[in-house]
Amino acid sequence: MNKKATFQSLFTAFIVMFSLFILSGCSEISLFTLLSNEQEGDFGISQDVVNIREGTMYDIDAQGGFLPYSFAIVSGDGSINPLTGLYTAPLSAGGLLIVEIESRDRFDSRDTGTIRVYAPLSAVPSAFSIKTDDPPRSIDVSGGYLITAYTAVAERGTISPVDTDTFSYDPPAVAGWDYIEITDDINNSISISVEVLPASTSTVLQLQPTTAVITIGPGASQEFTLTGGSGSFPGDFIIELSDPGFGSLPPDPLPNPFTYTAPSVPGAVTLTVTDGIGDSVFSDIYVVSATPEVLELNPSFVETSPGAILEFTASGGLPPYKFSILSGAGFLEKVSPSTMIIETSSPPPVTKIRVTDAVGSTATANIDLKEK
């Protein structure tokens, strides 16, 4: 560094310190307060773009500059706490609501971020079973935000668009689990769990409905049908409940189909069927007081910079929830039964997280990392 540059740097530092001294002497702000409220880095909002569902809340964070921060809505509906940045979305977005948030630090440095409020994205069915030789299954999608068409990707099977909001799923040739992800035009996504079962000609012991998880209300009934297996029914088969006192089965000899009747209180029980050579199938039966809402992660999408700490909240489905990083990088921590935080890292530029509930339903959220 030459002498002229050195002199200019020292002169700039002197002007800044002198200004702070004058400011602290002419107001109630002390120099100590100013320095202790200085945060590392330039001032800015942590989340550039956030997608949240209508009727929900989200904390907008700021970093750098000087504390305290303030927050305000520049355009769009909803409300925000001016001190904490907690934004509350309206109950109805009317399609898609774009909200611009402005944050300022003590010395009026400013930055803006965008919140996109959308209607819940959903698919029918949200989970299903299908045999390898079954015809294609239709999936109807609604909600979210649509400009052109939803997109869908299956890990193993083949999924094709029928029209803008309907897809056709063709199962793979090999049995096992498959997952379908459907995304709208603003990166909201939902995940559909698919249990792919052996072909109809298989002699493998099967329990119909084929899904391994059943959800019914108190006092309700569920019919089951056995196919395949070895031995003669019912003599060579054992059908039992993990808790014999939780609900009831018909008396022996058991018919086929047979009916399970739930008790009047919520809970869970496993129905197990074993054939004459010891092969078993089971179904987890959840008795719930009300039909659970669709499992979701909020927010469903965040655009931010590497190193940001983000909070996601699960709702719907059947707790407990399990959080995981599906792809990308980051450090994840579960901080409450329904909430997790993740510290983003780079590379890669996109991170996808997944929540799984007690019955295997899943939901995903996307994080897009961009250098500021």
Cis peptide, bond prior to residue 263, ω within 30 of zero: no
Q: Which of 269, 260, 262, 248 is nearest to 223 (CA)?
A: 260
Share of the chain above pLDDT 90, in %: 43
Residue 349, by phi and psi: left (phi above 0), alpha (psi -120 to 50) or beta? alpha
* Locus of tokens 């599906």: 326
Residue 2 vs residue 156, higher pLDDT: 156
Residue 34 vs residue 2, higher pLDDT: 34
Asked whether the beta carbons of 219 and 248 are under 8 A apart, the reply is: no
Rounded CA separation 95/118 (Å):
6
Segment 230-236 mean pLDDT: 85
Sign of CA dihedral 328, 212, 208, 288: negative
pLDDT at residue 162 in the model: 94
Q: Which of 171, 189, 215, 223 is nearest to 298 (CA)?
A: 189
pLDDT at residue 215 in the model: 79
pLDDT tens, residue by residue, 278-321: 889 888 888 877 666 778 899 999 998 888 889 999 998 888 89
Distances in whole angstroms, Cα of residue 267 to Cα of each of 290, 292, 314: 12, 14, 21
Go through the chain and tell me how many residues it has: 372
Q: What is the DSSP letter of 238?
A: E
Q: What are 80's two structure tokens?
A: 């925000």
Q: What are 64's two structure tokens?
A: 């750098």
Q: Which of 54, 52, 72 is nearest to 62 (CA)?
A: 72
Asked whether the beta carbons of 165 and 112 are under 8 A apart, the reply is: no
The count of other CB atoms within 10 Å of the CB of residue 238 is: 12
Share of the chain above pLDDT 70, in %: 87
| Helix, strand and coil in the chain, % to nearest 5 | 10, 50, 45
261-294 b/e (C-beta count within 10 Å ≥ 16 → b):
ebeeeeebbebebbbeeeeebebbbbbbeeebeb
Exposed, middle or buried, 109 (CB in 10 Å: 0-12/13-18/19+)? middle
Q: Which of 72, 81, 12, 69 is nearest to 37 (CA)?
A: 69
Asked whether the beta carbons of 112 and 101 are under 8 A apart, the reply is: yes
pLDDT at residue 11 in the model: 44
Asked whether the beta carbons of 111 and 62 are under 8 A apart, the reply is: yes
pLDDT at residue 285 in the model: 87
Q: Which residues contact 359 (CB under 8 A, 6 or more apart)?
A: 213, 215, 284, 286, 317, 318
Residue 148 three-state SS? coil
pLDDT band at 15 (very low <50, low <70, confident <90, very high): very low
Rounded CA separation 356/367 (Å):
18
pLDDT at residue 347 in the model: 64
pLDDT > 90? residue 127: no
Rounded CA separation 85/50 (Å):
13
Q: Which residues contact 48 (CB under 8 A, 6 or more apart)?
A: 113, 114, 303, 304, 305, 370
pLDDT at residue 14 in the model: 46
Asked whether the beta carbons of 363 and 314 are under 8 A apart, the reply is: yes
Backbone phi and psi for residue 181, each to the nearest 5 degrees, phi listed first: -115, 125
